[in-house]
Every structure is written in C-alpha cells, then in structure tokens.
C-alpha cells in the first residue's frame, strides 16, 4: 500500500521541497503561482496556474487541534470559489492568451474541479484526483468531459461512494467522463513525494500521472 504510515499528505499541508520553475503573480485580489510549460508532457505548449483559493487564509497545520478541523474546513468551501475562478480565467485569457482552459485538482481541489465541471461554462475539461465526493455527491450533470481518479484503499473516500458516483453519472451525465480506481493505492498517491513512493506502487502512480496528461491532451 502506498505510504502506509502517512496515507494522506494533503490533509496536513505538506510542503513539497522541489525546485520552483515559475513565478508568483497577482491577479486582482488573488495571488497565484504561474508556470509556462513547453511540450515535454503535452502535445502542445501550455500555461499552468495555481491560484490561492484560500485568499490568504492560513493553511491547516500539523500542530493544530484536529477537533477544530471541520470548523476550519467550513471556512474553505470548495463550492465557493467562483469569484476567484472568474478572476483567474480572465487573467489567463487576457494576460496569457489562453484559448482552451482545463482544471486539475487534488483532494479538496478535486472536489473543486467537480464543482466547476458542474457549473462553469468557460472551461473545456477537468481532472479530479481523489476529490472528496461528499461535498457534491448529490450533483452529477457535468457540463464538460471529466476524469475522476480514485484510490482503492482511500480512508477518506470509501469505494461505495465511488460506486454511487458512477451510477449517478451514468444516469445523468451527457458528456464524456471516466471513473478509474487504482489498485492498492491510498489518498494522495498521484502527488506522492519521490521519497515516499514504495516500489510496488510506482507503476500505479506513473499510470495515474500519465492518464491525467492523456485526458488533458484529448480535450485541450
């Protein structure tokens, strides 16, 4: 199992200490991290931007009292990011010349992707990686092609929730979608740090990353 001792790196605010290749930018009231990519991963040149959807609010810390986590989470609703998304889309179109825009999100961000795929007409596609289903479990009429990545042994997203999501998508969704479960993996496996990757999990991690890129290549 991937990273048994710490199955969820994203729920404690891990800082990944890899070299930065982009720059911080200001888009109206939002700070964001912006990076221009060449053709190494995609079939085209593209620009990536990571907005601060918490808008300066403090991130969760390992030293915090976990009894207060749900109250903290309520102030960071993945379904209340539309104002910030509109600002970022405007920045990408007007400052970066973006023509086709897709979204990727992990955990909380994965839930945000589902929200945007249900609501925002200006996006082309999305990839939701272990997005917390319970945030939007009653909504499944996607506007854009969406790829859902889940881990078989995710303590935060039971497989019965994934099965129910698939059933609802099959009943209500009129655009292309895919739900894929990766065997033996735990929450956070696709963005696992190199030093935390067990050899037996590496093929699934690489597969998840490749699947994500292939989906974006298909629709952007």
Q: For residue range 149-175, what is the model confidence (pLDDT) as tens digits?
A: 999 999 889 999 999 999 999 999 999
Tell me if residue 8 is catalytic: no
Catalytic one of 107, 156, 201, 211: 107
Q: For residue range 24-69, what is the model confidence (pLDDT) as tens digits?
A: 999 999 999 998 865 455 555 788 999 999 887 877 776 788 788 8
**What's the pLDDT band for 5 if we cut at 50, 70, 90?**
very low
Catalytic one of 11, 46, 115, 154: 154
Tell me if residue 211 is catalytic: no
Tell me if residue 107 is catalytic: yes
State the Cα–Cα distance between residues 74 and 94, nearest whole angstrom: 33
Catalytic one of 11, 187, 201, 211: 187
**Is the per-residue pLDDT at 7 higher than 50?**
no
**Is the per-residue pLDDT at 6 higher than 60?**
no
Question: Would you tell me how many other CB atoms lie within 10 Å of the CB of residue 78?
Answer: 22
More confident residue, 3 or 61: 61
State the Cα–Cα distance between residues 178 and 113, nearest whole angstrom: 14
Q: What kind of architecture, by CATH, is found in domain 66-219? A: 3-Layer(aba) Sandwich (3.40)
- Average pLDDT score over residue span 106-110: 91
| Residue of 185, 195, 190, 187 whose CA lies nearest to 18 | 195
Mean pLDDT, all residues of the chain: 85
């Amino acid at each position: 199992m991937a990273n048994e001792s710490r199955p969820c790196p994203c729920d404690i605010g891990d800082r990944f200490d890899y070299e930065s290749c982009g720059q911080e930018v200001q888009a109206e009231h939002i700070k964001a991290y912006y990076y221009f990519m060449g053709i190494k991963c995609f079939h085209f040149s593209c620009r990536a931007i990571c907005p601060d959807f918490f808008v300066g609010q403090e991130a969760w810390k390992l030293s915090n009292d976990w009894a207060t986590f749900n109250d903290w989470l309520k102030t960071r609703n993945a379904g209340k990011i539309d104002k910030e998304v509109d600002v970022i889309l405007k920045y990408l179109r007007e400052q970066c010349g973006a023509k086709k825009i897709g979204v990727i999100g992990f955990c909380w961000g994965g839930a945000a992707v589902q929200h945007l795929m249900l609501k925002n007409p200006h996006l082309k596609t999305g990839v939701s990686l272990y997005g917390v289903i319970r945030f939007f479990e009653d909504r499944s009429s996607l506007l854009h092609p969406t790829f859902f990545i889940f881990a078989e042994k995710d303590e935060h997203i039971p497989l019965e929730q994934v099965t129910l999501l698939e059933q609802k998508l099959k009943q209500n969704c009129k655009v292309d979608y895919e739900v894929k479960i990766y065997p033996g993996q735990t929450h956070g496996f696709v963005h696992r740090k190199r030093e935390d990757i067990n050899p037996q999990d590496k093929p699934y991690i690489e597969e998840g990353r490749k699947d994500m890129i292939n989906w974006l290549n298909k629709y952007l």
